[in-house]
């Protein structure tokens, strides 16, 4: 099971720029702050800015190194695959369509409470008819690792850049997505 942005695809999302567009302090937890805004007008304005930002990212998205090859090999091995993302459905669908991502089970923030809430992984486990403890959720950010822990699944950090600071929160760490193939049970 995979996160989308920063794990399978590079949408070139600059969250500092998004905070600037929103007029929020850098480092603000976007979705959490959005829901805390005091008026419908403020929430609607911020939602439009966030949606435009996500759509821009989806239009310019490209594969992360090794991601396309990994997904092809997992499909050949008939391993179940799913995506759980904090992105909105429209941007996620655009990204998946443009890159022809071979994953049918995709949950967005419209389908389940946003990560780090565990509900999305529980839904994935239910749809795949697997115990959640058998899921391995791969992501690049703390919310991904927390989601897996909150759901009772295992987590894997795809480490690059400065996200290594989250390594102690992960069950596994890979520096190359193709290393994930070594973590798979023999079939």
Query: How high is the pLDDT of residue 12?
Result: 87
Model confidence at 69: pLDDT above 90: yes
Domains and CATH numbers, the chain: 15-59 (no CATH), 63-183 (3.40.50.1000)
pLDDT tens-digit series, residues 16-42 = 999 999 999 998 989 899 989 999 999
Model confidence at 186: pLDDT above 90: no
Q: Which letter, b or e, does each residue of 126-153 get, where b requires 16 or more Cβ atoms within 10 Å of its Cβ?
A: eebeeebeebbbbbbbbbbbbbbbbbeb
In whole angstroms, give the CA distance from residue 111 to residue 18: 23
pTM: 0.92
Model confidence at 87: pLDDT above 60: yes
Q: Contact 55/10 with Cβ under 8 angstroms?
A: no
Q: Residue 156 corresponds to which tokens in the numbers above?
A: 């894997």
pLDDT tens-digit series, residues 71-84 = 999 999 999 999 99
What percentage of the chain's residues is helix, strand, coil (to nearest 5)?
A: 50, 15, 35
Ramachandran area for residue 86 (φ above 0: left; ψ -120 to 50: alpha; else beta): alpha
pLDDT band at 185 (very low <50, low <70, confident <90, very high): confident
Query: How high is the pLDDT of residue 187?
Result: 52
């Amino acid at each position: 099971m995979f996160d989308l942005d920063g794990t399978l695809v590079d949408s070139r999302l600059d969250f500092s720029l998004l905070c600037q567009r929103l007029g929020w302090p850098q480092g603000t937890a976007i979705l959490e702050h959005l829901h805390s805004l005091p008026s419908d007008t403020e929430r609607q304005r911020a939602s439009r800015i966030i949606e435009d930002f996500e759509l821009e990212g989806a239009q310019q998205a490209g594969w992360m190194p090794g991601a396309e090859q990994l997904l092809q090999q997992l499909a050949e091995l008939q391993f179940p695959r799913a995506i759980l993302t904090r992105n909105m459905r429209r941007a996620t669908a655009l990204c998946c369509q443009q890159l022809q991502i071979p994953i049918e089970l995709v949950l967005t923030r419209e389908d389940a409470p946003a990560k780090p809430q565990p509900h999305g992984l529980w839904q994935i486990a239910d749809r795949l008819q697997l115990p959640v403890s058998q899921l391995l959720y791969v992501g690049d950010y703390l919310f991904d690792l927390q989601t897996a822990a909150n759901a009772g699944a295992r987590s894997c950090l795809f480490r690059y850049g400065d996200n290594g600071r989250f390594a102690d929160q992960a069950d596994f760490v890979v520096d190359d997505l193709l290393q994930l193939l070594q973590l798979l049970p023999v079939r």
